[in-house]
């Protein structure tokens, strides 16, 4: 079976003045369908840098990234944007929701740029909203929701295009422990349904819910379980 994502010798360096800071180096990772991987490590170890590359939000300095059998090297900005929208679902700590827009509208948004006919958008959005348990909040605007509810909207929005990969950066970072547990349950359910997840976190307890863990140190893989 073709892996969902394969990283080969992935490196990212940043030029700061005359110096090049190596943020991430020589990362080799294979992510198969149904995997659930937590990427952990101390602050500055390269988690966000790696995640941005895996999500095609940032280009590696060297190395390759193969998504669903397709090398991302040489893809145009337009192609990358298309792939990001249809193949990858992002869940960020800061939610990135439109504040004065309703739950339903926020979740339908990524479908505008998809090939799915408009007539089906609402039905698909309602299904994923149901999956995250927010069917009773369809008409609420984001700024009228609790932190945990907002994060659930962000997850529903990440699911709506049925992506082959879901990337989450500190998805419980802004939440109290009870709301964090709700989000954990949703992530576990999604994986049990066969979704492929990559989670970035500094929280060891959250990392435990994943099937695999990759620990970064100084931009390299220190250990894996
Ligand atoms: N734009 C940039 N320019 C220069 N150096 C950077 C840049 N972004 C990140 N770095 C450096 O790269 C290294 C890895 O940063 P990264 O943000 O990936 O760490 P992280 O593991 O996500 O940390 P945290 O847990 O604090 O979010 C750090 O040493 C950081 O200072
Ligand atoms: Mg980070």
Sheet holding 5-16, edge to edge: 19-31, 5-16, 62-67, 70-71
CB of 23 shorter than 6 A to ligand 1: yes
User: Separation of 100 CA from ligand 2 center, angstroms?
Assistant: 28
Helix axes 177-192 and 147-159, enclosed angle (nearest 10): 20
Kindly report the protein residue whose alpha carbon is nearest to atom 2 of ligand 1: 14
The pair of three-digit structure tokens given for residue 17, joined into one six-digit string: 């003045």
The model's pLDDT over 184-194, given as tens digits with 9 standing for 90+, comes to 999 999 999 99
Residues whose Cβ atom is located within 5 A of ion ligand 2: 47-48
Rounded Cα distance, 201 and 124, in Å = 29
What tens digit of pLDDT does each residue of 66-100 get? 999 999 998 999 999 989 988 999 988 666 788 88
Q: At what angle do helices 147-159 and 121-131 cross, to 10 degrees?
A: 130
How much is the pLDDT for 92? 80
Q: What is the pLDDT of residues 124-158, one digit of tens each?
A: 999 999 999 999 999 999 989 988 899 899 999 99
The total of other beta-carbon atoms located within 10 Å of residue 102's CB is 17
Higher pLDDT, 97 or 47: 47
Q: Beta strand 36-41 with 197-200: parallel, antiparallel or unpaired? A: parallel
Please give the domain boundaries of the chain with CATH numbers for all domains: 5-224 (3.40.50.300)
Q: Which ligand has the nearest atom to the CA of 23?
A: 1
Q: What is the pLDDT of residue 104?
A: 96
Pocket lining: 21 vs ligand 1, CB cutoff 6 Å? yes
If you measure from the C-alpha of residue 183 to the centroid of ligand 2, how many angstroms do you get, rounded to a whole number? 19
- Identify the pLDDT of residue 114: 85
Give 182's pLDDT tier (boundaries 50, 70, 90): confident
pLDDT, averaged across the chain = 92
| Mean pLDDT computed over 109-115 | 88
- Dihedral angle, C-alpha 82, 85, 86, 88, nearest 10 °: 120
Share of the chain above pLDDT 90, in %: 76
Structure tokens at 34: 């149904």
Give the residue, out of 10, 19, 20, 21, with the most ligand 1 atoms within 8 A of its beta carbon, to mutate for a pocket test: 21
pLDDT in tens, 195-214: 999 999 988 889 999 999 99
Is the whole-model pTM more than 0.85? yes
How many Å lie between the centroid of ligand 2 and the Cα of residue 18? 24
pLDDT at residue 172 in the model:
87
Return d(Cα 108, Cα 122) in angstroms, integer: 7
**CA dist 165 → 17, 35, 54, 96, 196 (Å):** 36, 9, 10, 19, 5
End-to-end CA distance of the chain: 22
């Amino acid at each position: 079976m073709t892996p969902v994502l394969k990283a080969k010798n992935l490196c990212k360096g940043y030029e700061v003045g005359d110096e090049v800071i190596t943020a991430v180096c020589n990362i080799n990772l294979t992510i198969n369908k149904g995997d659930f991987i937590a990427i952990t490590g101390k602050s500055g170890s390269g988690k966000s840098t790696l995640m941005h590359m895996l999500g095609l939000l940032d280009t590696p300095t060297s190395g390759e990234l193969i998504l669903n059998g397709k090398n991302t090297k040489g893809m145009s900005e337009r192609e990358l944007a298309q792939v990001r929208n249809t193949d990858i679902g992002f869940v960020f700590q800061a939610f990135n929701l439109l504040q004065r827009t309703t739950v339903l509208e926020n979740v339908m948004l990524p479908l505008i740029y998809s090939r799915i006919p408009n007539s089906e958008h609402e039905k698909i959005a309602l299904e994923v909203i149901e999956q995250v348990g927010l069917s009773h909040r369809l008409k609420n605007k984001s700024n009228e929701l609790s932190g945990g509810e907002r994060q659930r909207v962000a997850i529903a929005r990440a699911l709506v295009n049925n992506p082959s990969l879901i990337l989450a950066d500190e998805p419980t970072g802004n939440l109290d422990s009870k709301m964090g547990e709700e989000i954990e349950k949703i992530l576990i359910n999604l994986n049990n349904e066969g979704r492929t997840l990559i989670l970035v976190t500094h929280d060891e307890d959250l990392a435990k819910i994943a099937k695999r863990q990759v620990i970064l140190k100084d931009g390299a893989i220190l250990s894996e379980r």
